[in-house]
Amino acid sequence: MSLAPLLLRASASNPLPKLSPEKPSSTKAAKPKKAKSLPTLVAVKPLNLEAEKKKFFDSGGTYNPQFVYPAAIDSKVLHQYGEPSSRYLAQALKIIRTSLSLFGTFTNWERCSGGHIMTKHEVTTHISKYLKAEGIEDEIQVNITHNILARASMTRVKGKPTINVKEGTTHSNWIEGMLNHEIGTHYLRAYNNKKQPWRSGKRRRQLKLLSSNPTEEGFASLNTVMFREQPLLLRSSLMYVVIFLASKMSFCQVYEKLKQYIDDPEERWKHLLRAKRGLTDTSKPGCFSKDQIYLTGALQILARRHEINFEHLFRFGKVSHRDLEKLEEIAAQEGTRVPKFLSDKNDYLNRLNYVIQFNGLTDEDLKEGAKH
């Protein structure tokens, strides 16, 4: 693989700083002094995105975008989810190789596995059915929009939980997994968290609870793919590699490297933009490290799947899987919810086992990542 030299250097005597598994909540959350009023994902979205994208493609991929933001961004914001890491780089590359061996190209994977792109009406109809099945149709509003970088996200609009879906990006075979991610995991765990005695930051600190990430996003990532016919962790693996490369290289250099994994120029741009957002001068090494937590959290959960009580992982709210046992005696369970897809716990565990197998991984691969 062309990444072998980087992989070897990352594991040598002077390794890349490692992404901490999950750290106790600090007394004061790290916030950028000049942009603290902006949500992080809003603060790191470039204002001149379309103009810089045109310059990049007009240059034939030789121009490093120069992004402008609503306010100055503190370096702590870029790495608030941890430092960029090589910890699971070998596992990420193994998943990518497995995926491409099955589908040939990234584009073919999306077309064959994902199904057709759904219309706005199809998306809203499917979401309505999902919400009704979960008994929460009156709790969440739907916003189909072009104004987000991700394909979907959960936010609050005027105090009401809202699922935002980027128009023209939802695949028919994957929409259920997207809803398991955003609603079945993020929304229900947030709902359950409000029932818990540790719902306040002060109480979390008193209990010395770990950060909810990478468990939160890793759990959501598994619930995204595990009910698919081909439950590949390809997208989270690609983003893991992209973040690692972006921390070492310029925008143009990473774009060139990604050609071996992502055949579509537009998709390469999208993946790289997520890694380089938050930077002004993308000719310099650096990244917004958030997207590594998806694969990190997923592999950590898979490694401990026989030890984790997955019902508690839902009912206890926004907590790390490593804190479940210490919270059992004080956790509130009355009035909490679990999603429909957890109704058969044996089936759920069997599907986790299949995720490992289908991605070309072994328990040894998972243990190896945990050693670093």
Active site residue 182: yes
The pLDDT assigned to 27 comes to 45
Among the options 22, 110, 182, 216, which is catalytic? 182
The pLDDT assigned to 39 comes to 87
Residues of the chain with pLDDT under 50: 1, 8, 11-21, 23-35
- At residue 85's C-alpha, the angle toward residues 371 and 327, to 5°, is 60
Q: CA 35 to CA 47: how far, in whole Å?
A: 14
- At residue 180's C-alpha, the angle toward residues 175 and 186, to 5°, is 130
- Listed residue (302, 240, 219) closest to 86, CA to CA: 240
The pLDDT assigned to 37 comes to 66
* CA distances for 254 relative to 86, 181, 249, angstroms: 16, 28, 6
CB pairs under 8 A, 24+ apart, for 42-47?
42/70, 43/69, 43/70, 43/71, 43/73, 43/77, 43/278, 44/69, 44/73, 44/77, 44/78, 44/277, 44/278, 44/288, 45/69, 45/149, 45/277, 46/277
What is the residue extent of each domain of the chain?
A: 28-117+199-371
Predicted TM-score (pTM) of the model is 0.89
